[in-house]
Chains A and B, each alone.
Chain A
Amino acid sequence: MHVTGLQLFWFVLIGVLWSGYFFLEGFDFGVGMLLPVIAKSDLERRGLINAIGPIWDGNEVWLIVAGGATFAAFPLWYSTMFSAFYLALFVVLVALIVRGMSFEFRGLRTSTRWRSNWDRVNFSGSLLASLIWGVAFADLLKGIPLNAHHVFTGNLLNLLQPYALLGGLTMVALFVLHGSTFLSLKTTGELHEKAVGAARRVAPIATLVLLAFLTWTYFVARSHGNSGAVPGFIPVTAFLLIAAVSWLVREHLNGWAFVFTGVAILALTVTIFMTLYPNVITSSTAFSDSLSITTAASQRYTLNIMTVIAAIFTPFVLLYQGWTYWIFRKRITLPPTGAKVEA
């Protein structure tokens, strides 16, 4: 059976949702991971957190919608993926929960220890979630043990394969870079300098890790008989964009640096989805046992209904989410040192 237009549309849409999620939550994860690196005082850390304060929750909804849309449009993809990554997703959940609470709880007490503990939670949550998302998507590409009924037959160790770990590392590096370019746009003074410094130091590392991951992906894709995607225009673009960030930061083109890291993340996600096509999960037991788009998809009626609803409501969501970025476009400025700031 070949993929119908409607199924392809929903496969692309789910790719778009994950791309949006990685683009948006990517920089707020990055900010979380940068907390201990570039902010020394409580006030500085609060400045960083305020930069993503009004928007991190909305960014996270992209994940929830990606999950829900997968459930609705590709029930078998959703059920196989979520049950196969059982323990890994449990860690993601814990990471996202404690990270979310850290935003809400840190300001409720004035004690410095209370706050720095919640900041540590924010850091660990951001790091773990970024790492595991990278591992999970690399696993979908490289393959996990599935039997002919698409039931996962492996264990946690099968998920921690070297290629997947490299995928995790790639996500972490890209998100840290994305977070630092975001912060270089949202901060002033000393914080701004530190954000720019972080971007300058991380950019070469991210470039190398991404190159390694894309190269390995080329061989993975070839072993699937699907070498069209890598090295194609899109993954090469991802690499070139990240490679250019060091230069952009040196030239103080911070806006462009942020655009470049963001578009590179989008391009990487698209590369992953293109390499996956026409499957949604690769089986490492036998390639022919892979779960395909056609097998995983919902029936036409459900997909039709979902298409109509998505077409009506998505523009509104994009409009008001974009509008919040406009409302909070101003840079965060810290009060001069010594000024009293109450929580």
Chain B
Amino acid sequence: MEPILGSVTLTLSRWQFATTIIFHFFFVPLTIGLGFIVAVLQTAVYRTHDERYEHLLRFFGKLFLINFAIGVVTGIVQEFQFGMNWAQYSAFVGNIFGPPLAIEGLLAFFMESTFLGIWIFGKGKVSDRIHLLSIWMVVLGSSLSAAFILVANSWMQHPVGYKIDHATHQAVMTNFLAIFTNELFLTTLAHVLLASLITGSAVALGIAFYQMKREGSKRVFALGARIALVVFFVASIAMALDGSAQGVVTVKDQPMKMAAAEALYNTKSGAPESLLTIGNLKDQVLFQITLPHVLSLLATNSWNGKVQGINQLQKADVKKYGPGNYVPTVWLEYWNFRIMAGLGAVIIAIAVWGMWLLWRKRLDSSKWFRRVAIYAIPLPFIANTTGWIFTETGRQPWIVYGVLRTSQGVTRNLSPWDVGITFVGFIALYVVLGAVDLAMMLHYSRKDLATINGELPPPDGSSGQEIDSLVY
């Protein structure tokens, strides 16, 4: 294939992968987080038999289900795309990257799908205890699935436990345990699970406040708002701790990514943290707000620690890997990192404010907090997306950091037309799915509690009809 066409295929494949995974990654954190809240609510129903919990359970259960399937079906695309668009990559890393994917299917997907079926249809057919267990198994299954895919992803970011077999031109596994205890994996897993709890609880919190304006359902949703707020608060505080731990690990394992995130061109001791830059990041800074020494503190846990700069790292990489450009797109890293971390700070502020109102017993009456809670719903989604773009583009030009370049991983037998057609197809399909999903979410989150209850079978499962009507 001619080089130009090859590079078009590569670019299109990269955009296709990025687009489809970002879309998938709207729904994964939402379903993990919302699933956790639904499971908490069902546990409360099981223990107290309080009808307010039952109303909340059915309301949020419905919202959870609307999003669940779309997360599952868009996940299949990701598994297939490795082979479809990144065949050279798959052939090279299959010995290492394949096992976590296979284990994800065996351990996580079967659990998730089977117990979801029991949860949706099993009311009255299994005991209440088993029915409660089934929703927790769904949450466990989706969290395990996140864990296994992050094992695979973390290996791409920071390869461990492998050697290169030159005879077959493949990376082969030498230490299974090392791959599953990769330090980058452990901090990333916590990061993604906490982000999921934040996303799910932010959605539940905003919708609960929206519903509280109705006099009839105020009593029920005030309770829902409290539960969501507590999850939101605990997860966002934990996230701050994990975020800084992850920063330290990333500086160690992927110094170039963090240097780009800070637009730090030259190695510096006692480096300042840049909060905001206006102008060209490299040499024409017009205006900048910085916190002295904070970058060193965050990156190395020491006030005057030495942080490596882009120029020095590039030089070292050329020496190590040969000529080439080893610097990711700096503005992309700088701004995505700032948006993610900035939104994290906003989320913590909202959470603390909400807890303060709760403590002063003014949570339900604060008009301002109500507005903020509703408008804050998109924030975690933006933070998730920018965080994902930051971490994935920060590994470029590598598909496996320091081992295989992205350009070496793309499928050889595809023309730009092949990838172009599927790219347009995925975009068209995802726009329609996204629009339908959003419309359904809005439709159901605005619905009157009484209407929803009228549509669903009574909680004891005795619908009086032989046909289940919860879902279909």
B-binding residues in A (CB < 8 A): 43, 46-47, 49-50, 53-55, 57-58, 60-61, 63-65, 67-76, 78-84, 86-87, 89-90, 93-94, 96-98, 100-101, 103-108, 151-153, 298-299, 301-302, 305-306, 309-310, 313-314, 317, 320-321, 324, 327-328, 332-335, 339, 341-343
Contacts and interface: CB of A to CB of B under 8 A. Distances in A.
Contacts of B115: 320
Given A68-B105, A90-B425, A334-B466, A79 B90 contact: yes
Interface in B165-218: 165, 170, 172-174, 176
A105 B440 contact: yes
Contacts of A67: 79-80, 83, 101, 105
A100 B65 CA distance: 12
A76 B467 CA distance: 47
A310 B443 CA distance: 43
Nearest to B172: A299
A171 to B, nearest CB: 19
Contact of B80 (A58, A82, A313): A82
Contacts of A152: 413
B320 interface: no
Contacts of B79: 64, 67-68, 71
A71 B472 contact: no
A83 B413 CA distance: 7
B117 interface: yes
A302 B110 contact: no
Contacts of B116: 57
B95 to A, nearest CB: 5
Contacts of A72: 94-95, 98-99, 101-102
B82 A71 contact: yes
A71 B466 contact: no
Interface stretch (B120-128, B259-267, B356-364, B370-378): B120-128
B466 A305 contact: no
Contacts of B407: none
Nearest to B88: A79
B80 A94 contact: no
Contact of A94 (B66, B84, B412, B429): B429
B422 A86 contact: yes
A97 B80 CA distance: 13
Interface of B: 65-66, 68-70, 72-74, 76-77, 79-80, 82-85, 87-88, 90-99, 101-107, 109-111, 113-118, 120-122, 125-126, 165, 170, 172-174, 176, 411-414, 418, 421-422, 425, 429, 433, 436, 440, 443-444, 454-455, 465-469, 471-472
A339 B425 CA distance: 42
Contacts of A79: 83, 87-88, 90-91, 94, 411
A73 B455 contact: no
A68 B122 contact: no
A104 B444 CA distance: 14
Contact of B73 (A90, A100, A339): A100
B220 to A, nearest CB: 21
Contacts of A107: 469, 471-472
Contact of B76 (A76, A97, A320): A97
Contacts of B468: 50, 53
Nearest to B98: A72
26 contacts: A47-B467, A55-B117, A60-B113, A61-B113, A64-B79, A67-B79, A72-B102, A74-B94, A75-B91, A78-B94, A78-B98, A83-B87, A83-B412, A94-B425, A97-B73, A100-B73, A101-B73, A101-B433, A106-B472, A301-B95, A302-B173, A305-B99, A320-B111, A335-B466, A341-B467, A343-B472
A299 B465 contact: no
A253 to B, nearest CB: 25
Contacts of B91: 75-76, 79-80
B94 A324 contact: no
A100 B72 contact: yes
Given A65-B109, A100-B69, A309-B103, A90 B471 contact: no
Contacts, number: 252
Contact of B72 (A57, A301, A328): A57
B268 to A, nearest CB: 43
B69 A54 contact: no
Contact of A153 (B85, B107, B413, B425): B413
A342 B121 contact: no
Nearest to A300: B172
Contacts of A101: 69-70, 73, 433, 436
Contacts of B172: 298-299, 301-302
Contacts of A298: 94-95, 98, 172
What 8 A-B pairs come out closest when comparing CB atoms?
A: A75-B94, A82-B83, A72-B98, A54-B117, A68-B102, A65-B105, A71-B98, A83-B87
A342 B464 CA distance: 12
Contacts of A96: 73, 76
Given A54-B118, A61-B110, A298-B94, A86 B105 contact: no
A332 B469 CA distance: 12
A53 B120 contact: yes
Given A104-B70, A298-B94, A333 B110 contact: no
B105 A320 contact: no
B442 to A, nearest CB: 12
A324 B114 contact: yes
Contacts of A81: 83
A214 B454 CA distance: 54
Given A306-B102, A321-B114, 14 more contacts: A57-B72, A64-B76, A71-B83, A78-B83, A82-B83, A94-B425, A108-B443, A151-B412, A299-B95, A302-B96, A313-B107, A327-B125, A334-B466, A334-B467
Contacts of B103: 68, 309
B141 to A, nearest CB: 10
Contact of A309 (B106, B126, B467): B106
B63 to A, nearest CB: 11
A54 to B, nearest CB: 4
B2 to A, nearest CB: 16
A327 B104 CA distance: 25
B69 A89 contact: no
Contacts of A68: 79, 98, 101-106
A78 B165 CA distance: 19
A299 B165 contact: yes
Q: Which of B103, B115, B125 has the most C-beta atoms of chain A within 10 angstroms of its own C-beta?
A: B103
Given A84-B413, A97-B433, A324-B118, A78 B66 contact: no
Q: Which of A75, A94, A101, A327 has the most C-beta atoms of chain B within 10 angstroms of its own C-beta?
A: A75
Nearest to A149: B412
A342 B107 contact: no
A72 B91 CA distance: 10
Contact of B436 (A93, A105, A153): A105
A327 B125 CA distance: 7
Contact of A75 (B65, B90, B105): B90
Contacts of A309: 99, 103, 106
A343 B469 contact: yes
